[in-house]
Structure 1
Amino acid sequence: MIETTIELSGRVRAMLRAVAAGRAELSGGGEPDLYVDGLPCSDRAAIHDLVHLGLVRALAAVRLDERAGAELTEAGRAAIA
Structure 2
Amino acid sequence: MENNDIAQWMLKKLSKEGCVYQDDVVDYLIKSKDESHLIENADGNQVLGRPLLNEFLKLTKDDVVWVRSGFYWRYRVAEDEPGRNARG
**TM-score using structure 2 length:** 0.35
For the pair shown, the structure with the greater C-alpha radius of gyration is 2
Hey, which of these two has a bigger chunk of helix by percent? Answer: 2
